Amino acid sequence: MNITLRPWHINDLENLVALANNPNIARNLTDQFPSPYTKENGLKFIEFASSNEPLRIFAIDLDGESIGGIGLHPQSDIERKNAELGYWLGEPFWGKGIISKVVPQIVEYGFAHLDLHRIFARPFGRNIASQKVLEKAGFSLEAKLKDAFYKNKIFEDAFIYSILKK
């Protein structure tokens, strides 16, 4: 199993839409992640993901095929030395340790190329798998915020994890 991070390409569109158009993925992401996920959404996303220099959003590649995405979203103003980590993986690839392999890669990349001091992630309180991934990668739990997210007409707890540049 050869897992790498690479830029998104237009030839990823079919895989992107097929995997991202899944309510089980959208339920663990912000509402900016469209559901249903259309070809038009995929085209806009690939264009956006390819527009930053240095790149901040990558395809998760397994043996030459895109199977998910991971990215760092730099903050602004007094939080400008911070970036939020976000990721998703196609459901057929869940439970195989793939995200646990790529999170340390994106953290290393972010600290080396994006002038960051802190990378944080905000998984849903019910998303135990994501919390375990972050802890395995060296992130520390900073806070548990009760009912901080409103998703699919229900309130959800938000957990805040972070890692600091060494």
Domains of the chain with CATH codes: 3-164 (3.40.630.30)
pLDDT of amino acid 11: 96
Which tens digits make up the pLDDT trace of 59-101?
Answer: 999 999 999 999 999 999 999 999 999 999 999 999 999 999 9
The pLDDT mean for the chain works out to: 97
pTM of the complete model: 0.95
CA–CA dist 113, 53 (Å, integer): 10
Looking at the DSSP bridge assignments, the partners of residue 165 are none
Do residues 18 and 65 touch, judged by C-beta distance below 8 A? no
Which tens digits make up the pLDDT trace of 114-163?
Answer: 999 999 999 999 999 999 999 999 999 999 999 999 999 999 999 999 99
- Torsion region of 113: left, alpha or beta (phi above 0 gives left; psi -120 to 50 gives alpha): alpha
pLDDT of amino acid 128: 96
